[in-house]
Structure 1
């Protein structure tokens, strides 16, 4: 044991991951011209959906906000409201999402997940586990502004037990966002997680919650590697074997996001589109929210995992303008 501990003392840093967005900032940007083009696309009889799709999917969120300001100045109208009134169905949902700032979009998605009968726990896990500290803070402030409610109280009212405390910890305990791995600490955390076992993690919240909600993703990856080195069992498989329900979903999401975020989102997209029916909201949310982050990586992981392109799945599950805008978001405009 002494030799193992000695070897694992100190810390190391890992290089940042390469991210490939599908939407990048347009050079030679002229917001007034874009505002006029959008007004023209909505003016008169009929709407030019193609023009709207082509323009909005080739501008970043920040550029869309500037276009909205120019539209307000030029025509004294709210661009987002005008677009929503002219469009319908999935196309409208995507365009509304594209016109919202990321924190407004996420706040609305959380509100939908906990409003009405039932709770969409998977959406809560996806958003809270994949956003940065700064993004979570912005969501909290924006949710209060939009709905005059505290997002933590709303989530607390719709969830319970250990699962509730895991979700709330994502807001309350800032995650270490460095690329540093503490070798000695990671080994002993892995050893303690294995000796305790997933079934008993909920019984020792003071031990388990900080590990999964405060440690950096780089550090957690090393913890999970150490876990397998210690017991010969992958922690993901151990969680699947010993836990179920929302708590299992949370841990599996953290493990997958820690190891390979694009693969996690690829799996979410696959599950949303496979079989009978499509969970359109999940598809729209992931494509909109990841388009300026790592949607290019998600496309690659989708093909690697399922042997078919994301483009082919979207083409098979959507039609018309909905298909066109979703394919444009993933960089496969037809």
Structure 2
């Protein structure tokens, strides 16, 4: 029996026939998720429990007794085949277990073989395949914390990943990241941003990452939406730019930091309605040539995420594949971090936006086992990709 065949005997799937959606009304799903969360450390519970109706592509076995020892045996055989590592068996284990279950597999592997699984994989594989495997095995909140640290510490001033995390993680997730950041780097995130990220952009980034935000769910206050929309429009100067907004911390905090994302989207839509046939807020931001480039990127990210976060990630993937040089770190980051949250919706938004499948474009951009791994995370139900 091959490693692939052996793994199939221990896999218990939860992936629906519609590409990953499991209704939150399903008693099986709810009981499985509830049981799984009770077996998680609190940090994992806080990081996962924000999404009641998951539209990811990776779920893993619903039972907490998912036999990590057998998955470890499969991995050990895949890494001990001699000249050629069985990368497909590694892919199978990764895409058929969720992030928390992979931590159990890491522990079981070390207990059984007195070896570090990641170190063994690093000896046998390499390139972007290895980078993605390591990312998939990292606890989700640890991966985000590390990505954030690298972004704000970037000597070249590219803080786009920090902005992405600030705008696409929930208030509770950001709280976990802040706690993990202090634990890992022995300093608070807020103080580190103040030291490493200069100017008003740094103050805005600190607010987005460190200031508590209302969670979506409350009924929108129409009067407040109208007030904020008029406030947003009032900060334009006579040339009808948004330069003043990029320098006004008080207004930035009122509109973009404290309130929930549904409120921000409503404010933006109302502001565009008030302007009528004139250029919308997004166009004004895009065409502004005097605003600091990172501040403009931050404001555009806020607009995109508030209106459609899945479309935002679809555009990130498209841009990563269409430049002069493919941006594989972005491809890996987006695919890994959204795999258990909304990857199925991102795939749909990609096709709707570009009239082509994400899988096809990935197959044209990536190669080898790395390509198979990316495609398997995007659509685990399709089996091994050729």
TM-score, length of structure 1 as denominator length: 0.90
Contact 2:54-2:340 at 8 Å conserved across structures: no
1:199 matched residue in structure 2? 243
- Residue in structure 1 matching 2:320, options 253, 262, 272: 272
Are positions 1:309 and 2:357 aligned together?
A: yes
Classify the secondary structure of the residue corresponding to 2:215: coil
In structure 2, C-alpha distance between the alignment counterparts of 1:76 and 1:147, rounded to whole Å: 28
Q: Which moved more, 1:260-269 or 1:84-93?
A: 84-93
CA deviations on 1:221-269 (whole Å, 9 max, x unpaired) are 1111211121224221222233451111111111111110110001111
Are positions 1:253 and 2:301 aligned together?
A: yes
1:77 matched residue in structure 2? 115
Are positions 1:23 and 2:61 aligned together?
A: no
Contact 1:179-1:219 at 8 Å conserved across structures: no
Q: Which moved more, 1:154-163 or 1:278-287?
A: 154-163
In structure 1, C-alpha distance between the alignment counterparts of 2:249 and 2:313, rounded to whole Å: 28
Structure 1 segment 1-334 matched on structure 2, within 5 A: 19-27=54-62, 29-46=66-83, 47-115=85-153, 117-180=155-218, 181-197=220-236, 198-232=242-276, 233-242=279-288, 243=291, 245-331=293-379, 333-334=384-385
TM-score, length of structure 2 as denominator length: 0.78
The 1:83/1:152 distance shift into structure 2, 3 A limit, reads farther
In structure 2, C-alpha distance between the alignment counterparts of 1:220 and 1:56, rounded to whole Å: 36
Cα RMSD of the aligned pairs, angstroms, is 1.9
Structure 2: stretches of 5+ with no match in the other structure: 1-50, 237-241
Once the two structures are TM-superposed, the CA of residue 25 in structure 1 deviates from its matched residue by: 2.4
In structure 2, C-alpha distance between the alignment counterparts of 1:173 and 1:187, rounded to whole Å: 23
In structure 1, C-alpha distance between the alignment counterparts of 2:370 and 2:191, rounded to whole Å: 35
Contact 2:152-2:197 at 8 Å conserved across structures: no
Structure with more contact order per residue of length (Cα contacts < 8 Å, sep ≥ 6): 1
Contact 2:310-2:349 at 8 Å conserved across structures: yes
Once the two structures are TM-superposed, the CA of residue 170 in structure 1 deviates from its matched residue by: 1.8
1:5 matched residue in structure 2? none
Contact 1:23-1:57 at 8 Å conserved across structures: yes
In structure 2, C-alpha distance between the alignment counterparts of 1:26 and 1:96, rounded to whole Å: 21
Once the two structures are TM-superposed, the CA of residue 302 in structure 1 deviates from its matched residue by: 0.8
Structure 1: stretches of 5+ with no match in the other structure: 1-15
The 1:17/1:273 distance shift into structure 2, 3 A limit, reads farther
